């Protein structure tokens, strides 16, 4: 017996076996159970998400010999023939190869005749957006006044190309892309049923490569089985797909955090020995940078797979938020322009070096840190705050080992500077940066939290902040945080205000520039102040 590929062998035969499209399945099940059946259904979505599969199951549900049902038996002649693609009353058409109006007219010539075997005559038109304008006009007449024994099931990857007159006569269901976690779970189930040994990380790699398509995932799984010749291992799958080992991606992120240009060049040299797909390398970097950015904002990240939350926490602490945004933008632009590079390796290498070259100057030009892998560079926020140091009232830890001295000489601190000195990172730093200092009562530090950042407040983070304060000041301190919209300026708000002030100063400086004035007078030019952006933060003297 010939081998049946997994994509066909494991194609769902009923609604219960279909995964990932519950919003569509529930609507169809309810319609079948209540008898409220429309004459035309349109299924839209990217490739391999189940459009034609769901349409065929619906055809079985309409023609099952036990009656219209949401649970077709799968055993009667109608169900079996539909599964095998030979049911006479299920007319499947690939519109990509039948685009002419004559083809459509020939197709619809027999619409008025009753079904030969089944309850309904079902027309399943795949890639319906490929029909010509004349073909749509021919189809439209039948969609307006269909015979009661006819159902139209239309599928397309591009619903925008369908005329609105057709869209308005169909019930439209938008199928979602499959998540990597959903695909990975399905692949695990299939491997267990097929008695195939597979590493979880290898299946996760295949799930990511499938790009939301379950059919592509099953095809890649077939390829992996043949390639690995037995157990499916992550290293073998990565080599098959040309993907990069996850450890290399994490290493590059850490090197970016350390501003270590030489280390990046060395890492790329090692990666190149694996004959990698550099486009996927930049894609993986962008994906992880996006999740790091989310983690820095909300303190958690639904990563689906890949890195665990502890690794995201460490990377979030090592990479300033401004750098994460810059690195992400450079990664996606570098991936877009990769085909313009002399070769993929140099294109990816230049994208990574560009990330460091365009870092905010305050982070990239700290002595001892340029290209060096030294201490983490301070963020622009830290440098800007340092410029105001003469006005700061932060109390340094007492030189005397007696905690009482610290308590007696206490003064209200500059909270923005103090947060930078405490050494807190990740979600705890985000919490502190969104708080405003109020007062100290006894051994309790009272802070006000912006209500918009309430999700950051947890007991664990508050206790961690109290521990850092106690260590900094050399005495046992507690922290009390209350929600307040007018509790004073938080470090985050201060940073935003300072950025606005610098931007306004830059605008005024450009307006007063003699060269700008000359251009205005000579050509009647106008300075578009809304387009002015700060490239570098101000440098300290």
113 close to 147: Cβ distance less than 8 angstroms: no
The domain 246-364 having CATH identifier 1.20.272.10: the answer here is: yes
d(CA 219, CA 434): 48
470 close to 360: Cβ distance less than 8 angstroms: no
Q: Which CATH class is domain 180-241?
A: mainly alpha
For residues 430-444, one letter each, b for 16 or more C-beta atoms within 10 angstroms of the residue's C-beta and e for the rest, the string is bbbbbbbbbeeeeee
CA distances from 95 to 140, 147, 224, 541 (A): 15, 22, 32, 69
pLDDT per residue rounded down to tens, the chain (541 residues): 577 889 889 999 999 989 888 999 999 999 999 989 999 999 999 989 999 999 999 999 999 999 999 999 989 999 999 998 899 999 998 887 776 777 778 778 888 888 888 899 999 999 999 888 888 888 888 888 888 999 999 999 989 889 998 999 999 999 998 888 899 999 999 999 999 999 988 898 898 888 889 999 999 999 999 988 878 988 888 888 876 667 788 899 999 988 899 999 999 998 888 777 889 889 889 988 998 998 888 877 765 555 567 778 888 888 888 899 999 999 999 999 999 999 999 999 999 999 998 876 544 444 334 444 444 444 444 434 334 433 333 333 444 344 433 343 477 888 888 998 888 888 888 889 888 998 899 899 999 987 878 888 888 889 989 999 999 988 999 999 988 877 678 888 888 888 888 888 888 888 888 888 877 777 777 777 777 776 655 444 3
- Orientation of helix 426-433 relative to helix 278-298, angle to 10°: 50
* Residues whose CB falls within 8 Å of the CB of residue 301, separated by 6 or more in sequence, listed in order: 291, 292, 294, 295, 309, 312
42 close to 167: Cβ distance less than 8 angstroms: yes
Kindly report the pTM of this predicted structure: 0.59
CA distances from 267 to 154, 244, 329, 348, 352 (A): 50, 12, 21, 12, 11
d(CA 479, CA 419): 14
Three-state DSSP at 352 gives: helix
Query: Could you tell me which CATH number the domain at 379-541 has?
Result: 3.30.300.150
What residue segments make up the domains of the chain, in order of their start?
6-174, 180-241, 246-364, 379-541
CA 403 to chain centre: 49
Three-state DSSP at 326 gives: helix
**Could you tell me the two tokens for 441?**
């009562």
Q: Which fold has domain 6-174?
A: Rossmann fold (3.40.50)
């Amino acid at each position: 017996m010939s081998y049946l590929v997994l994509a066909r062998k494991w194609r769902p035969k009923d609604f219960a076996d279909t995964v990932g499209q519950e919003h569509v399945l529930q609507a169809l099940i309810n319609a079948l159970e209540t008898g409220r059946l429309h004459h035309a259904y349109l299924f839209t979505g990217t490739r391999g998400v189940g459009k034609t599969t769901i349409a065929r199951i619906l055809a079985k549900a309409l023609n099952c010999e036990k009656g219209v049902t949401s649970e077709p038996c799968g055993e009667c002649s109608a169900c079996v023939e539909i599964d095998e693609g030979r049911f006479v009353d299920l007319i499947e058409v690939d519109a990509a190869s039948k685009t002419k109006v004559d083809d459509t007219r020939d197709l619809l010539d027999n619409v008025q005749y009753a079904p030969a075997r089944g309850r309904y005559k079902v027309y399943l038109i795949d890639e319906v957006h490929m029909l010509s304008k004349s073909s749509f006009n021919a189809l439209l007449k039948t969609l307006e006044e269909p015979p009661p024994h006819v159902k139209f099931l239309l599928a397309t990857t591009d619903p925008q190309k369908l005329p609105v007159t057709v869209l308005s006569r169909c019930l439209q269901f938008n199928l979602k892309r499959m998540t990597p976690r959903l695909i990975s779970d399905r692949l695990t189930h299939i491997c267990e049923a097929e008695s195939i040994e597979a590493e979880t990380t290898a299946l996760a790699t295949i799930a990511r490569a499938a790009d939301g398509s379950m059919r592509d995932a099953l095809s890649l799984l077939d390829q992996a089985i043949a390639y690995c010749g037995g157990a499916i291992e992550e290293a073998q799958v990565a080599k098959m797909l040309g993907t990069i080992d996850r450890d290399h991606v994490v290493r590059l992120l850490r090197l970016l955090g350390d501003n270590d240009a030489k280390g990046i060049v060395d890492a790329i040299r090692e990666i190149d020995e694996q004959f990698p797909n550099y486009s996927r390398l930049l894609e993986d970097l962008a994906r992880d940078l996006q999740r790091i950015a989310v983690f820095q904002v909300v303190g958690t990240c639904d990563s689906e797979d890949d890195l665990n939350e502890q690794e995201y926490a460490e990377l979030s602490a090592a990479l300033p938020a401004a750098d994460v945004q810059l690195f992400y933008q450079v990664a996606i632009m570098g991936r877009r322009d990769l085909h313009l590079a002399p070769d993929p390796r140099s294109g990816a290498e230049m994208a990574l070096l560009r990330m460091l070259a365009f870092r905010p100057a305050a982070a990239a030009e700290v002595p001892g840190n340029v290209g060096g892998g030294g201490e983490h560079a301070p963020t622009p926020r830290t440098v800007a705050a340092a410029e105001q140091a003469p006005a700061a009232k932060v109390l340094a830890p007492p030189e005397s080992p007696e905690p009482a001295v610290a308590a007696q000489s206490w003064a209200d601190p500059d909270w923005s500077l103090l947060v930078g000195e405490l050494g807190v990172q990740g979600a705890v730093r985000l919490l502190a940066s969104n708080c405003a200092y109020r007062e100290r009562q006894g051994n309790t530090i009272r802070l006000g939290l912006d209500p918009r950042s309430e999700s950051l407040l947890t007991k664990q983070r508050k206790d961690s902040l109290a521990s850092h304060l106690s260590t900094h000041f050399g005495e046992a301190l507690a922290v009390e945080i209350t929600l307040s919209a007018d509790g004073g300026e938080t470090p985050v708000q201060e940073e935003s205000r300072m950025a606005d002030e610098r931007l306004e100063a830059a605008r005024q400086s450009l307006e007063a520039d003699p060269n700008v004035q000359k251009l205005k007078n000579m050509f009647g030019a106008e300075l578009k102040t809304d387009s002015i952006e700060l490239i570098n933060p101000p440098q300290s003297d």
